């Protein structure tokens, strides 16, 4: 299994969400699908039908059409169950499943689809499992009242109104049943990398811009205690040695630092909403999660060949996601042929002629592995040193969940609360992203 395309259409046929996993179908298939469903010959269109050996499978939710396509011989019931589970996860995160909620949270929806469907193959549809790897927060949308609900609200007493209100679904990250706050707290250690390589794959300069982000949904707004690495050192050249050395940092104004020097612990009462507990910067040598090794050669008077090898120097079991490598080519390029020495599932490449750029996309890049690509460039004029300088630089974008380069970590997060039954859920995530990850040629 299986899926070629996935899309969500509004009642008017507007494509709100579209995801092409294989690139082997017409990108405007959603228009063909909508016209076929809307003008079905007799009655309503069945949930599964075939056109030109292509199967369309769909469900309706609040007038939305949630559909997928495939050319494979798949089980219709399993496919419909998958769409039902996708719809449930969207509703769990957005609170309500409406056109407005999908449009407002389209970034979150795309991230959920990427995690649940890998190259068209289902992975996980559990809301709890997705909490670990999904980083966007949902924008709340008030549910649209129906005619029936309006009539009921006019004729029911206050007790019935209260009961009805308690059944309104709310976003996973926010409120729970009955409008009560869940006792949860989210902490993200987010690091953005700036790395520059030379043509030999050696690091010229590098830095980390990091922050500890927190979002609290704790009842009563209690005081929190957060401890970092015991051997954390602030300021280079201080004469101290530690596993983590920060060039400089700054704390949020709510943070009390009276115990920080002795135990590397802070305490504070979190303000409303998301805020940055700590911002920090690290420069100098640190292990780069990816290494880029380019090789350029002239294969003819009008031809250049570029081989790019990328190695993931991250632990086994860790993976880079949404990896994108962009390679600018000379302006006089007349044609590009791309070779992949090893076919890897979830890896694709294309030449964007209008941008004069090769884009190589890898959905999941496993730690300890390496991948390469060969780009054969044909020019409409002879190769010169000036033309070769127009090749590159190579830029790379990625995200690595549950991994950070600096090794900064949260030793513990405690709540100063006297009630014995006060046991909130704590979610701590480590995220590494590329900010500027460039290799010169």
Q: Give the whole-angstrom CA distance, residue 372 versus residue 366.
A: 14
Question: Per residue in 43-82, is it b (16+ CB within 10 Å) or e — as a string?
Answer: eebebeeeeeebbbbbbebbebbbbbbbeeebeeeebbeb
| Count: domains in the chain | 4
CATH code (residue 109): 3.30.450.60
Q: pLDDT tens digits for 391-414?
A: 989 999 999 999 999 999 999 888
CATH code (residue 332): 2.60.40.1170
| Residue 102 and residue 195 in one domain | no
CA distances from 76 to 47, 58, 70 (A): 9, 10, 11
| Residue 410 and residue 279 in one domain | yes
| Residue 276 and residue 196 in one domain | yes
Give the lowest-confidence range in 54-68, 126-140, 163-177, 266-280. 163-177
| Residue 347 and residue 374 in one domain | yes
Q: Is position 42 within any domain?
A: yes
Return the higher-pLDDT residue of 95 and 163.
95
| Residue 236 and residue 353 in one domain | no
Q: Residue 179: which pLDDT band, with cuts at 50, 70 and 90?
A: very low
Q: Give the whole-angstrom CA distance, residue 439 versus residue 203.
A: 9
Return the higher-pLDDT residue of 41 and 56.
56
Q: At a CB cut-off of 8 Å and minimum separation 6, what does 33 contact? A: 7, 9, 56, 58, 65, 67, 69
Phi, psi of 104 (to 5 degrees): -70, -30
| Residue 54 and residue 113 in one domain | yes
Q: Is position 298 within any domain?
A: yes
Region 71-76 average pLDDT: 86
Instruction: Give the model's pLDDT for residue 166.
Output: 34
Region 86-93 average pLDDT: 90
Q: Is position 426 within any domain?
A: yes
Instruction: Give the model's pLDDT for residue 325.
Output: 95
Q: Is position 139 within any domain?
A: no
> Which range among 33-47, 126-140, 174-188, 284-298 has the greatest average pLDDT?
284-298
| Residue 163 and residue 48 in one domain | no
Q: Residue 422: which pLDDT band, with cuts at 50, 70 and 90?
A: low
Q: Given a cut of 80, is residue 419 above it in pLDDT? A: no
Instruction: Give the model's pLDDT for residue 188.
Output: 92
Q: Is position 138 within any domain?
A: no
Q: Is position 137 within any domain?
A: no
Domain holding 384, by residue range, is: 290-401
| Residue 270 and residue 416 in one domain | yes
Whole-prediction pTM value?
0.59
Instruction: Give the model's pLDDT for residue 237.
Output: 61
Q: Give the whole-angstrom CA distance, residue 439 versus residue 174.
A: 41
Instruction: Give the model's pLDDT for residue 236.
Output: 72
Q: Given a cut of 90, is residue 303 above it in pLDDT? A: yes
Distance of CA 235 to the CA centre of its chain: 33
Q: pLDDT tens digits for 323-365?
A: 999 999 999 999 999 998 777 777 899 999 988 999 999 989 9
Cβ atoms of residues 403 and 369 within 8 Å: no
Q: Is position 73 within any domain?
A: yes
Instruction: Give the model's pLDDT for residue 196.
Output: 92
Calculate the average pLDDT of the chain. Answer: 83
| Residue 81 and residue 95 in one domain | yes
- Nearest one of 55, 49, 56, 124 to 86, comparing CA atoms: 124
Distance of CA 383 to the CA centre of its chain: 40
Q: Residue 420: which pLDDT band, with cuts at 50, 70 and 90?
A: low
Q: Given a cut of 90, is residue 306 above it in pLDDT? A: yes
| Angle made by CA atoms 155, 159, 160, in degrees to the nearest 5 | 50
| Residue 309 and residue 236 in one domain | no
| Residue 382 and residue 315 in one domain | yes
Q: At a CB cut-off of 8 Å and minimum separation 6, what does 152 contact? A: 160, 164
Give the lowest-confidence range in 88-102, 143-157, 367-381. 143-157
Q: Give the whole-angstrom CA distance, residue 122 versus residue 114.
A: 10
| Residue 380 and residue 396 in one domain | yes
Q: Is position 441 within any domain?
A: no
DSSP label of 178? G
Residue 4: count other Cβ atoms within 10 Å of its Cβ: 20
E strands, 284-356, are: 290-300, 303-312, 319-328, 333-339, 347-352
Q: pLDDT tens digits for 287-297?
A: 899 999 999 99
Region 239-247 average pLDDT: 76
Region 59-82 average pLDDT: 90
Q: pLDDT tens digits for 120-177?
A: 888 888 887 888 788 777 777 654 444 334 334 444 443 443 333 333 333 333 333 3
**pLDDT > 70 in the chain, percent:** 87
């Amino acid at each position: 299994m299986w899926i070629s395309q996935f899309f969500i259409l509004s009642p008017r046929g507007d494509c709100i969400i579209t995801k092409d996993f294989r690139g082997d179908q017409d990108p405007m298939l959603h228009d063909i699908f909508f016209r076929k469903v809307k003008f079905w010959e007799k009655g309503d269109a069945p949930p599964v039908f075939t056109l030109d050996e292509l199967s369309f499978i769909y469900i309706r939710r609040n007038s939305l059409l949630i559909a997928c396509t495939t050319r494979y011989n798949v089980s219709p019931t399993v496919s419909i169950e998958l769409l039902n589970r996708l719809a449930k996860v969207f509703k769990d995160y957005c609170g309500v499943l409406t056109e407005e909620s999908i449009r407002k949270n389209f970034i979150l929806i795309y991230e959920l689809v990427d995690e649940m469907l890998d190259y068209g193959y289902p992975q996980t549809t559990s809301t709890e499992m997705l909490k670990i790897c999904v980083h966007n927060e949902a924008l709340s949308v008030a549910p649209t009242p129906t005619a029936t609900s309006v009539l009921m609200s006019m004729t029911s007493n206050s007790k019935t109104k209260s009961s009805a209100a308690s059944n309104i679904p709310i976003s996973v990250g926010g409120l729970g049943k009955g409008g009560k706050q869940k006792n949860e707290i989210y902490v993200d250690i987010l690091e953005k990398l700036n790395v520059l390589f030379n043509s030999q794959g050696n690091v010229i300069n590098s830095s980390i811009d990091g922050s500890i982000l927190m979002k609290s949904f704790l009842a009563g707004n209690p005081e929190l205690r957060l401890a970092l690495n015991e051997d954390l050192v602030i300021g280079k050249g201080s004469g101290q040695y530690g596993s983590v050395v920060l060039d400089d940092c700054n704390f949020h104004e709510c943070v009390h630092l009276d115990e920080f020097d002795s135990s590397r612990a802070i305490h504070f009462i979190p303000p409303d909403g998301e805020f940055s507990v700590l911002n920090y910067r690290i420069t100098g040598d640190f292990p780069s999660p990816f290494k880029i090794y380019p090789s350029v050669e002239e294969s003819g008077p009008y031809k250049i060949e570029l081989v790019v090898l990328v190695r993931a120097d991250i632990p086994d079991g860790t993976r880079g996601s949404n990896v994108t490598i962009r390679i600018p080519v000379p302006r006089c390029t007349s044609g590009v042929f791309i070779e992949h020495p090893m076919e890897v599932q979830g890896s694709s490449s294309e030449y964007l002629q209008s941008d004069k750029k090769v884009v190589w996309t890898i959905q999941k890049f496993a730690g300890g592995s390496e991948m390469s690509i060969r780009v054969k460039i044909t020019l409409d004029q002879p190769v010169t040193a000036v033309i070769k300088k127009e090749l590159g630089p190579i830029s790379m974008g990625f995200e690595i969940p549950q991994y950070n380069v600096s090794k900064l970590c949260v030793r513990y997060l405690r709540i100063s609360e006297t009630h014995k039954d006060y046991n909130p859920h704590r979610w701590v995530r480590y995220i590494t992203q590329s900010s500027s990850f460039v290799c010169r040629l």
